[in-house]
């Protein structure tokens, strides 16, 4: 009798396993996933934030053709239920909500932190934990014409983002100032080498072609380009007088049609020794900046990342053009630079004043520079070299999933 019961139990288990395999094969049901990732953009960086022993699914929301491949019979069941409960919502929002429900996740994660998609679905998936990771500077989120977004538990560069989100009346559950995960990955992979006595300019050059692209703000692009030109001329003359070489961390890739234009933009009036380096790999610009003795930028994310790890950085976003166009009548204070020490701010095109500032920063001791920039680093790029952002986020996801209290599943994943 006991043997018969064992046989029956084993037979039922085998049949259940077989049915599930068939169902998965023919997309009758979806796989489950501990973590759902909204948007495949930059996932090669975000994957470092997902613990090794949890399952995840990436939803390529910008690629409808790839997203359709994730549909299943259970999706259509959920779609019907969600539509019945939310008849006034757009079909895209309803479909994405239904698709997420088929995976039964505990965490919904995105690296596209200013995503309206991520924000919209949060209104209908209350029981899930929403985590967003900052992917770039977000000054524009404070502007009055921006839609109000939801950021969930937000892993930001620093405390500045709290001021920015509050100014723009956005919603969030918590602000976790951990720094940049790209910077964290770079530091994790960093191989020690000697620094080079040179100035690195982080290019924010914009192609003239974009001035005629309806997706771009022509006035803003042109003013940024003029500010970039003024900044380069200033730094180029300083480097010429101080006999220092300049390396440009270009925006364009070497095989891009734009690289020759970008190189010409910098080289046509150069007086010092200038080398323009294209982007050749994910962190090639990071290496150029990290191993230089002084970094100069208008106001790039990479500039703030270098500030966060104690590199000597000068910011030129306070040049008259960008400041007046972007911030006039919008901010009561210039969030981009108001917490930076005056020594790090190139305020105008006055050669003598700015040359003195660059001399001061370049020859300052590391200890003095660290004390000078402590508040700014905390506010703009609060990274801890001993506890990197990707590690913090992984640990937080572990805690949410309570991995320690259950047997971990083998890592399963599906990317587009």
Burial of 181 (0-12, 13-18, 19+ CB in 10 A): buried
Contact 203, 246 (CB under 8 A): no
How many angstroms from the chain centroid is the CA of residue 310?
Answer: 20
Q: In sequence order, which ranges of 192-258 are alpha helices (DSSP H)?
A: 218-242
**Strands 107-110 and 35-38, sheet pairing:** parallel
Which residues of 13-55 form beta strands (DSSP E)? Answer: 35-38
- Alpha-carbon span 297 to 203, nearest angstrom: 7
Residue 321: half-sphere exposure toward Cβ, Cα within 13 Å: 16
Q: What's the pLDDT at 87?
A: 63
Every domain of the chain and the residues it spans:
26-179+392-414, 188-381
- Alpha-carbon span 244 to 149, nearest angstrom: 45
The fold adopted by the segment(s) 188-381 is: Rossmann fold (3.40.50)
Contact 198, 293 (CB under 8 A): yes
Helix (H) or strand (E) run with residue 44 in it: helix 43-46
Which residues of 111-222 form beta strands (DSSP E)? Answer: 129-133, 153-156, 174-177, 196-202
- Determine how many CB atoms are found less than 10 A away from the CB of residue 36: 24
Contact 369, 314 (CB under 8 A): no
Helix (H) or strand (E) run with residue 145 in it: none
> How far from 97 is each of 76, 126, 127, 149, 401, CA to CA, in Å?
11, 11, 12, 17, 21
The answer for residues whose C-beta is within 8 angstroms of residue 243's C-beta and 6 or more apart is none
Tokens read off for 213: 């692209």
Give the alpha-carbon dihedral of 353, 358, 359, 363, to 10 degrees: 150
- Determine how many CB atoms are found less than 10 A away from the CB of residue 12: 10
- Determine how many CB atoms are found less than 10 A away from the CB of residue 224: 22
Tens of pLDDT, residue by residue, the chain (416 residues): 656 666 565 655 554 454 454 444 444 455 689 999 998 888 999 999 999 989 999 988 887 777 777 767 777 777 777 767 766 667 777 888 888 888 889 999 999 988 888 888 888 888 889 999 999 988 888 777 778 999 999 999 999 999 999 988 999 999 999 999 999 999 999 988 888 999 999 999 886 544 444 454 556 777 788 889 999 999 999 999 999 999 999 999 988 889 999 999 999 989 999 999 999 988 999 999 999 999 999 999 999 999 999 999 999 988 766 666 666 666 667 788 889 999 999 987 688 999 999 999 999 999 999 999 999 999 999 999 999 999 999 999 999 997 534 433 433 344 44
Tokens read off for 92: 């895209």
């Amino acid at each position: 009798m006991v043997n018969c019961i064992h046989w029956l139990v084993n037979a039922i288990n085998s049949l259940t396993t077989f049915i599930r395999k068939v169902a998965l094969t023919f997309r009758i049901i979806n796989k489950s996933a501990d973590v759902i990732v909204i948007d495949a953009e930059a996932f090669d960086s975000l994957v470092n934030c997902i613990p090794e022993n949890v399952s995840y699914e990436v939803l390529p929301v910008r690629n409808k053709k790839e997203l359709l491949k994730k549909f299943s019979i259970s999706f259509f069941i959920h779609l019907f239920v969600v539509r019945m409960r939310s008849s006034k919502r757009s079909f895209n929002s309803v479909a994405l909500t239904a698709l997420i429900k088929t995976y039964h996740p505990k965490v919904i994660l995105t690296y596209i932190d200013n995503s309206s998609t991520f924000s919209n679905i949060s209104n209908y998936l209350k029981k899930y934990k929403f985590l967003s990771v900052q992917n770039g500077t977000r000054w524009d989120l404070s502007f009055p014409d921006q839609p109000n977004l939801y950021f969930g538990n937000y892993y930001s560069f620093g405390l500045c983002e709290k001021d920015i989100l509050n100014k723009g009346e956005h919603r969030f559950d918590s602000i976790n100032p951990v720094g940049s995960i790209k910077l964290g990955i770079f530091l994790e992979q960093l191989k020690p080498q000697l620094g080079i006595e040179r100035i690195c300019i982080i290019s924010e050059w914009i192609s003239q072609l974009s001035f005629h692209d309806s997706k771009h703000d022509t006035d803003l692009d042109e003013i940024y380009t003029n500010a970039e030109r003024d900044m380069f001329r200033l730094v180029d003359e300083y480097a010429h007088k101080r006999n220092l070489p300049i390396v440009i961390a270009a925006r364009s890739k070497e095989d891009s049609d734009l690289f020759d234009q970008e190189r010409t933009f910098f080289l046509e009036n150069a007086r010092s020794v200038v080398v323009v380096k294209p982007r050749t790999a994910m962190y090639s610009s990071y290496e150029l900046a990290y191993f230089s003795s002084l970094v100069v930028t208008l106001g790039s994310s990479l500039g703030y990342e270098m500030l966060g790890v104690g590199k000597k950085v000068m910011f030129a976003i306070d040049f008259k053009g960008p400041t007046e166009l972007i911030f006039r009548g919008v901010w009561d204070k210039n969030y981009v630079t108001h917490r930076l020490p005056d020594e790090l701010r190139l305020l105008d095109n006055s050669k003598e004043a700015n040359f003195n500032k660059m001399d001061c920063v370049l020859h300052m001791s590391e200890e003095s520079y660290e004390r000078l920039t402590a508040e700014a680093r905390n506010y703009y790029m609060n990274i801890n070299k001993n506890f990197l952002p990707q590690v913090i986020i992984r640990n937080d996801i572990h805690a949410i999933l309570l991995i320690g209290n259950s047997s971990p599943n083998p890592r399963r994943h599906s990317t587009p």
